[in-house]
Structure formats: C-alpha cells, structure tokens
Copies of this chain bind each other. A is one copy, B any other.
Amino acid sequence: MVNMSLSDFELEVMQIFWQLKEASAPEIHKIIEKKRAVKYSTVKTIIDRLEKKAAVARSRSEGRIIFYLPVMEKQNVRTPLIKEFINRVFLGKSRPLVAHIIEQEQLSIKDIEYLESVLREKKKELK
C-alpha cells in the first residue's frame, strides 16, 4: 500500500487536515460547503477512502462523531507531486517553471527578497 496517490478531492481534504490537525467529517463538510455545494455523504466517502489509504486515521470519538488525524505528511505528499508536475508539464526542467512563476504569479517584495535569500543559500551550498 505504499506510494498511494491522492485524487484532487482527497488532496483537498488532506489540506484541511494538515491545517486543523484533528477533524471530523461534519467539520470538514462544513468547511468545504462554504466554497461549493457538496453533500455530507460525498465528503464522508472521501474521508473513508483516505482512511483506507492510511492517509488519515481515527483518533477518538465524541458521541457518534469520529475524529481523524492526518497520517501522511504534507511534505511526503507534496514532494512527489511537484516532481511529477515538473516532469509532466515542463519535461523535467524546473528552471522554466520557477521562472514562469516569478514572472506570472503575484509575489510581494517580501516574497522576492525571501526567495533571493533561498537562492543565495543554495548557491553557497553548491560551491
């Protein structure tokens, strides 16, 4: 069961778990419902699938309500996704992706200065 990938919706739910640490299906449902119409059972199905994939695990109950904790870690999910994305969209070359983001996406002066420092660090490391 290693290397299980997450669907879009599953990832969306994991993002919420990573933020809240612990959450129940009703909570997750209420949060997602603010953005778009979705039935409780739909959300619960996704959480069930996450549980089957061992991405989350039951931690405790309050009455009938089951609480879950994220098991898969953000970094462990994101890293392969980034690699895949770069392969898929940029033929494995990260430089043009980074350049594109810097040029096209909204970055504040603070963001830029931060990224400059990250680059400086990296350069030091390479030399």
Interface residues of A (CB under 8 A from B): 8, 11-12, 15, 78-79, 81-83, 85-86, 88-91, 94-95, 97-109, 111-116, 118-119, 122-123, 126-127
**Given B78, B88, B95, B106, which contacts A114 in the complex, CB threshold below 8 Å?**
B95
A115 CA to B15 CA, complexed, in Å: 29
A108 CA to B108 CA, complexed, in Å: 25
Which 10 A-B residue pairs are closest in the complex by CB-CB distance? A94-B105, A95-B111, A102-B118, A94-B101, A112-B123, A99-B118, A112-B119, A81-B89, A85-B85, A116-B119
* A91 in contact with B15 given A102-B98, A118-B103 (CB within 8 Å): yes
